Amino acid sequence: MRENVGARGLIFNEPLIFDISREGRDGASIPDGVGLPEKKIESLLPKGSLRDDIEGFPSLSEVDVVRHFTRLSQWNYGLDGGFYPLGSCTMKYNPKINEDMASLPALNNLHPYAPEGLAQGALRIMYELSDYLAEISGLAKVSLQPSAGAQGEFAGILIIKNYFESIGEKRHKIIVPDSAHGTNPASSALCGYQVIEVKSGSDGLIDPAEIEKHMDDDVAAIMLTNPNTLGLFESQILKITEIIHKKGGLVYMDGANLNALMGIVKPADMGVDIMHFNLHKTFSTPHGGGGPGSGPVGVTKKIAPFLPTPVIVENNGNYSFQYGNKDSIGRLRAFYGNFGVMVKAYVYIRSMGGDGLKKASETAVVNANYIKEKLKGIYHLPYDRECMHECVFSDKIQGENDVSTLDIAKAIIDRGFHPPTIYFPLIVHGAIMMEPTETEGKETLDSFIEALKDIAAKAKEDPGSLKASPEKPKVGRLDETQAARNPKLRWRAGQKDG
């Protein structure tokens, strides 16, 4: 088996920054004799900007600080360093040109209160990005305002609610398949809807007969994901959407898995009325880390008036914000969305072009099926059929030797890979969900597959050895229950245990 990145090497021990502090050290100094007058900080900053003294505040030289945080950064695992096979997350590599363009001073330094006349370039980027997303989805209009996929989803349900109120109907239910993302029932409940869960069939797909059984004049919408969270395409999607539409309901599609569809099929052509886009998944903007996100929401023409306000309009090459739409659900946040994230998605789409986006989806599907076929029989495959951009195994085979999904995930770390998503979707017991995306080459996939084969062999020959994993990282297997129940969130002066 090829040695994997991160499987061995120099790992720095690094104490707390408070423990490396030495009295009298300073990160900045000015030589004597330069003639600069000394001023007290109180004369330079407003009183409200001054902090109180912090007991134990560290004193460090510049090199101490740089080395400390550089070493800490080397403990972290990121897409710039290795493969992230997280199913449902589409953890694809983010091209650096996206970051470079978003960092251009004319864009990065633009104030949100800048007059429209001085922000025409930014407005055009937002307008064109909305159009590109509308073209990719087949929907009529797209709002970029939501700050994340979950907020885009919440906005979508608010739009559904406002639409039915506008036509004098008070519907109280939303159908959500059991293969849905957890935010789907949460968004529905937050908007006051009763969630009707529908079980998937034995083939892992939604049974139209089950939808028909629950669909009545009190159901506002169905929320589904296609491909679903098993990585399977809902082959009866047209029949399902027809059932919903016949009773006057709307179809909401969670756009989390759009990476399998873009350039191949448009959600609107499947009968979708409304969906959100995850720019951090499909369109190569940064993923996670607590930073800004973006979850645009798109709609058909008849519900476009309910989009968040303001919307961007174009008139003879001039771009402006339009306010005052009486049917709008209103603002979702301050200003207009996370602009820097939008720039990155815009650059990605422009760089790829239509053919490139289609090729990305095709490659993502090929990569997932490659992993599925190579590991089938070695790991249990609950739904043995062609998958889309991700595949789901379980620990059923390894469980015969008391090796669990958690054991497998921890052993993957020792082989130099970030573990895949585990124990999701919930409809597969002991699920191991893998999504390679299109950005990984065959060599990386082969190395990952060999690592999983090696773990499966160990599960047969020496299952007890897997219980000690991971052994090579800085920290071994944690007591995750205690970490969740008794987290240590605050450092105190004199504390030595972190």
CA–chain centroid gap for 33, Å, is: 55
pLDDT of 348 above 70: yes
What are the pLDDT digits (tens) for 160-187?
999 999 999 999 999 999 988 888 999 9
pLDDT of amino acid 7: 54
Partners of residue 250 on adjacent β-strands: 221
pLDDT of amino acid 8: 56
Give span(s): CATH 3.90.1150.10, the chain: 360-484
List, in order, residues 6 or more apart from 269 with CB less than 8 Å away. Answer: 138
pLDDT of amino acid 299: 98
- What's the CA gap between 40 and 269, in Å, rounded? 67
Write the DSSP string, 464-496: GGGGG---SSSS----HHHHHHS------TT--
pLDDT of amino acid 115: 95
Question: Whose CA is closest to 297, among 315, 318, 313, 311?
Answer: 311
Write the DSSP string, 322-386: E---TTS---SSSBTB-HHHHHHHHHHHHHHHHHHHHHHHHHHHHHHHHHHHHHBTTBB-SS-S-
pLDDT above 90 coverage of the chain, percent: 76
Q: What CATH number does domain 97-351 carry, 3.20.20.450, 3.90.1200.10, 3.60.15.10, 3.40.640.10?
A: 3.40.640.10
In angstroms and rounded to an integer, the radius of gyration of the C-alpha atoms of the chain is 26
Give span(s): CATH 3.40.640.10, the chain: 97-351
Average pLDDT over residues 378-407: 97
pLDDT of 40 above 70: yes
What are the pLDDT digits (tens) for 85-110?
999 899 999 899 999 999 999 999 99
Cβ(357)–Cβ(136) under 8 Å? Answer: yes
Taking each continuous run of H as one helix and of E as one strand, the counts in the chain are 13, 12
pLDDT of 490 above 90: no
Give the DSSP letter of residue 53. Answer: P
pLDDT of 10 above 80: no
Among 49-53, 343-347, 394-398, the minimum mean pLDDT is found in 49-53
pLDDT of amino acid 498: 43
pLDDT of 64 above 70: yes
Angle separating helix axes 339-375 and 442-461, nearest 10 degrees: 50
Tokens linked to 231: 């990585």
pLDDT of 459 above 90: yes
- Which residue type, as a one-letter code, is found at position 89? C
Q: pTM here?
A: 0.89
- What's the CA gap between 485 and 114, in Å, rounded? 47
What are the pLDDT digits (tens) for 394-450?
999 999 999 999 999 999 999 999 999 999 999 999 999 999 999 999 999 999 999
Average pLDDT, the chain: 92
What are the pLDDT digits (tens) for 266-320?
999 999 999 999 999 999 998 866 568 899 999 999 999 999 999 999 999 999 9
Question: Whose CA is closest to 197, among 222, 161, 226?
Answer: 222
Q: Which residue has the tokens 């296609």?
A: 226
CATH number of this structure's domain 360-484: 3.90.1150.10
pLDDT of amino acid 181: 85
- What's the CA gap between 254 and 187, in Å, rounded? 11
pLDDT of 54 above 90: no
pLDDT of 152 above 50: yes
pLDDT of 209 above 60: yes
Categorize the per-residue pLDDT at 464 as very low, low, confident or very high, splitting at 50, 70 and 90.
Answer: very high
Q: Is 400 exposed, middle or buried (0-12, 13-18, 19+ CB in 10 A)?
A: exposed
Give the DSSP letter of residue 171. Answer: -
Q: Is 378 exposed, middle or buried (0-12, 13-18, 19+ CB in 10 A)?
A: middle
